[in-house]
Amino acid sequence: MLTVGYIGLGLMGKSIARNILKAGFPLVVHNRSRAAVDELVSEGAKPAFSAAEVARQVDIVFTNLPDSPDVEAVTLGPGGIVEGAHPGLIMVDNSTIKPVVARQIAQALAAHGVQCLDAPVSGGDIGARNGTLAIMVGGPAAALETALPVLQALGKTITRVGDSGAGQIAKACNQIMVAAQMTAMGELLVFARKAGADPQKVVEAIKGGAAQCWSLDVKPPRLFAGNRQPGFKAYMQAKDLNIVMETARQYGIPLPVTAASTQLFNAMLQMGMAELDNSAVIGVIEALAGVSLLPTE
């Protein structure tokens, strides 16, 4: 039985770690805030007080952190995974970070006998809780084969896209599509309301046709109920889109639609909506249009 470590117990990380524990794997956990650690320890996990301490004790160590600098610090910084590295250790990063950083970390840890998989996920907090995430993997095929039984506790779709960094490229592509869906959905709902049609009936009319998508299936009922809580927080969507745009500049890729989506999500942050769901980007469009879909008392 593989011993697993999980570092980063945020909104999704805690649910993912819990599913690993439920699948029967011995689990060592670490998080900057200790409340999540204590919660999982009460369910059978073992606590650790540094990333290095986790790495020393496990066969596979997962990370799930906000951004590229956080992953770099936890893997290669003082008290990081590198200090607890041992030959045969596999590091799996569920974070969404820059592809170039994923490659740099993989190269640095390889010198210590560690194989790295960049394995960002999609499916939001619901997918994390239910173990139905889509997992996009970059890195050595042999490492994925070893880690697969654990990854199967996280998600229902596990796809090796290519070598190191390829998982992060796939996640960037995912976020291009997610942002387009969220902004388009916001536009169509505001369009329907202001042009004089019932947005709920419009959604029912169009989601059985070519407009059908996950966002249109899942998000409108929450929006119509006035629920704009995450989900997937807007500031994380904005962060991911900024990674997309920076990578696009690096490779000279024109992304005009994604550039507009990025501006809308960055506007959310400036309007005080950073902690809301990414579907709450509709709030920016509502402000521009002078209408609201929020239910009236």
Catalytic residue set:
171
Q: Report the candidate in 136, 214, 203 with the shortest Cα–Cα distance to residue 181.
A: 214
Cα–Cα distance, 84 to 71 (Å, whole number)? 15
> SS3 sequence, 85-129?
CCCCCEEEECCCCCHHHHHHHHHHHHCCCCEEEECCEECHHHHHH
Contact 131, 155 (CB under 8 A): yes
Contact 231, 125 (CB under 8 A): yes
Residues 6+ apart with CB under 8 A from 262: 179, 238, 241, 242, 244, 245
Residue with tokens 């900057």: 32
Residues 6+ apart with CB under 8 A from 294: 226
* DSSP strand pairing (121-122 vs 133-138): antiparallel
Identify the H or E element spanning 235: helix 234-251
Whole-Å CA distances, 254 to 98, 167, 197, 236: 18, 21, 35, 22
CB-neighbour burial class of residue 107 (10 A; exposed 0-12, middle 13-18, buried 19+): exposed
